[in-house]
Structure 1
Amino acid sequence: MTQRPATVRPRHRMVDRVSGILEFVARSEGASLTEIARHVGAPVSSVQGLVNGLVATGYLDERSRVYRLGAAPHFLNLVAGRGAVNRIVHDDLVRLHERTGRTSVVLAVAIGSDIVYIDHVSDDPRTAYLAERFLRRSLIRTSSGLVLMADWEPRDLWAYLETLGDDDQSRVRLLLDELESIRATDMSVLPNIAEDPELDGISIAVREGDRVVAAVGVVGRHADLARDREQIITALREQAMEWDERD
């Protein structure tokens, strides 16, 4: 029997607008209704009802016609018990950075089909910029992204991979070759898939029960990471065991 190809989950215009509003406001120091409407590309009259609803339910806060992120998103995270990421503190990354002597240590999560660094310790201005601005990157181009994708349902993984262009096909093949190994070890080691061929990473999964909710990556020059590979892997595994004991 012929298997149906994987399909990307369909988007919904209203959901796209709501998520666009929330992310835009979260990135701002406060935004007006006009600025929000311009960002999501919709008339003010259409956005007004969405914004009012988000204020009424606590997702946005409004003072003097300026909108900021409300408490509801944080509350949902607490209700969901997302302790796996919350129990990783900045000092953990500092210790890994000192212990491994690498350029950067990052804490990464998947947001839709992108990866975002939500904390970091870095000597590299490029990584610091990405992390401090919470900029989205391609999952397929980082070791942490491979760790996060390895835990996806097949339908979502296949559909995502099918959206990637020719420039990423070698990375897709590498992920598929290494998929079972990543799942078995919870690690991606030196995949050599970054835009900069001299940079690479070693990343480990952060689990909440049977789900991967984040990844911690050690990033630096490929030659340096390869030389100290076993030391870095040991440091990451020992730190992961400490996180598990904090439950």
Structure 2
Amino acid sequence: MIDRVATIMEMVARSGKGMTLTEVSKELMAPVSSTQGLMNGLVSVGYLEERDRVYTLGAALYLLNVVAGRPPVAAIRHEQLEQVHAETGLTTVLSTAVGDELFYSDHVSSDPRYAYLAEGHLRRSLLRTSAGWLLLADREQRDIWAYLNSRPAEDAERVDAFLRTLTELRETRVCMAPTIGEDDSDGVSIALRESGRTIAVLGAVGSVSDIADRREELLEICLRHAASWGLR
């Protein structure tokens, strides 16, 4: 079983553009039914991603390298986040999804709360951050519904709020101060796009009042930097 999982991941990695279930099954010389179970399991834990029935490597592999202190070369350098932080004066975070959770892959901040989350590689709910809303909105509709249907009753108001904003999120790739956090914090976040998909989310995070007073300014700063990186 472990050999087969490793083979699947290597095949998908070497394919360049991803593989369909049929292609993987054929290469493994295994039934589609058993291959589907393995693929579903790898997607659920973030080792693979599935879009339009094509499987590509997921963000969990990146996370393992980060936790081990061996981060791979990323599209966004830490120095670039520092430039955003210098203009905003607020905590600047780079977020991605692993399975059904969000984690901060990099940050610039003097706030120990965000340093704790980022440096500890702690996962957060996609529904409780502006970055998480963008990462969730980028998924296929069936996957969004499946995720929302699995949420606990305490998230009902957040689910409703997300659904009211979903069309706008998908059109603009911007989430401005949704006020959905668990403390007195909020954010302006933008999707960083490459080859038609969101690869990460850039966000400026601060108190609810700070964000409300500066949301348009913060959005302009984030959009300008993302455009200069070629990721919009």
TM-score after normalising by structure 2: 0.70
- The separation in 1 between residues aligned to 2:137 and 2:41, in whole angstroms, is 30
Whose radius of gyration is greater, 1 or 2? 1
Q: Which moved more, 1:87-96 or 1:211-220?
A: 87-96
Root-mean-square deviation (CA), in Å? Answer: 3.1
Distance 1:112 1:123 in 2: 28
Aligned to 1:240: 226
Count of matched residue positions in the alignment of Structure 1 and Structure 2? 183
Give 5+ residue unaligned stretches, structure 2.
1-35, 48-60
| Aligned-partner residue type, residue 195 of structure 1 | E
Q: 1:24 & 1:185 partners in 2: Cα distance? A: 31
- The C-alpha deviation readout for 1:51-92, integer Å capped at 9, x for no partner, is xxxxxxxxxxxxxxxxxx8xxx96xxx8xxxxxxx2311111
Map 1:11-30; keep pairs closer than 5 Å. Answer: 27=67
* 1:236 Cα deviation from its structure 2 partner: 0.8
Q: Find the counterpart in structure 1 of residue 196 from structure 2.
A: 210
**Residue by residue, what CA displacement relative to the aligned partner does 1:7-30 show, whole Å, maximum 9, x if unpaired?**
xx978898589x7xx87797468x
SS in structure 2 opposite 1:233?
Answer: helix
Instruction: Give the structure, 1 or 2, with the largest relative contact order (CA under 8 Å, sep 6 or more).
Output: 1
Pick aligned residue for 2:120 from 133, 144, 153: 133
1:212 maps to a residue whose letter is T
Q: Letter of the aligned partner of 1:109 in structure 2?
A: T
Matched, 1:89 2:77: yes
**Could you say if the C-alpha distance between residues 12 and 181 of structure 1 is closer, same or farther in structure 2, counting changes exceeding 3 Å?**
closer
2:31 corresponding residue in structure 1: none
1:117 aligned onto 2:104: yes
**Deviation at residue 181 of structure 1 after TM alignment:** 1.0
Return closer, same or farther for 1:28/1:160 CA change in 2, 3 Å cut-off. Answer: same
Aligned counterparts of 2:169 and 2:75: Cα–Cα separation in 1: 23
Alpha carbons of structure 1 residues 120 and 28: separation in structure 2 relative to 1, 3 Å: closer
Deviation track 1:22-50 (CA, whole Å, cap 9, x = no partner) reads 87797468xxxxxxxxxxxxxxxxxxxxx
Identity %: 40
Aligned-partner Cα distance in 2 for 1:238–1:119: 19
1:166 to partner: Cα distance:
1.5
2:218 alignment partner AA: I
